[in-house]
Amino acid sequence: MRIQAPPERHPGIRPRPTVGRRLDAAARRSLPVGFSLGLVLLLCAPLGLPEQQALLPGATMGSVFFWSVFRPASMPAPMVFALGLLYDLLSFSPPGIVILTLLIVHTIGLGWRHGLARQGFLLVWLVFVLVAGAAILVDWALICGFSFRLLPVQPILLELALATGLYPLLSALFTWAHRGIADPSRA
């Protein structure tokens, strides 16, 4: 009786994991967080864009949601926390509110990722719009509670409209990056 070796999972010749390849893979894995941080820094900079501050919640939530669904290992909860903290500090919002809403968006994205990752864009977009709407509403309610007054609803409707319109652009950019420069298997 001859004993056979177990079959290899990935047969073939693989390149040696040199320091350069490991650094390249690490950079590719950290690119989603880098994109998200870049968005926050760009939209908090004084660029003079109309309604620039209203773009920030939708862009940040869109980034966190996309990467939580399609590359959850590259968007861990501590990085979402750090992103929310940076957002809070740069936008002068009440401390902790954005952190909480981003962590909620991240948790929903992680929880539904198995079902959403196999769906088409329109369904993922619809789920994002619902999640972003709920997160913006929670954000508004918490700010109203902290300020002890009822704030107008028009700004949150604008934020939701901008988040809804911005997500397809972000999704296209992130899908391109997900399949190309941010793919750790290409390192």
Q: What's the pLDDT at 185?
A: 64
What is the chain's mean pLDDT, rounded? 86
Interval 114-141: pLDDT, tens:
888 888 899 999 999 999 999 999 999 9
Measured distance CA(118)–CA(108) in Å, rounded: 16
Give me the pLDDT at residue 11, please: 62
Q: What pTM was computed for the model?
A: 0.84
Q: Under 8 Å CB-to-CB from 52, ≥6 apart: which residues?
A: 43
What pLDDT shows up at residue 183? 64
pLDDT of residue 20: 78
- Kindly list the domain boundaries of the chain, sorted by start residue: 21-44+51-180
Q: How far apart are CA 134 and CA 132, in angstroms?
A: 5
Q: Which of 165, 174, 167 is nearest to 71 (CA)?
A: 174
Per-residue model confidence as pLDDT tens digits over 91-106: 877 888 999 999 999 9
pLDDT recorded at residue 4: 57
Q: What angle do CA 83, 69, 170 make, to 5 degrees?
A: 65
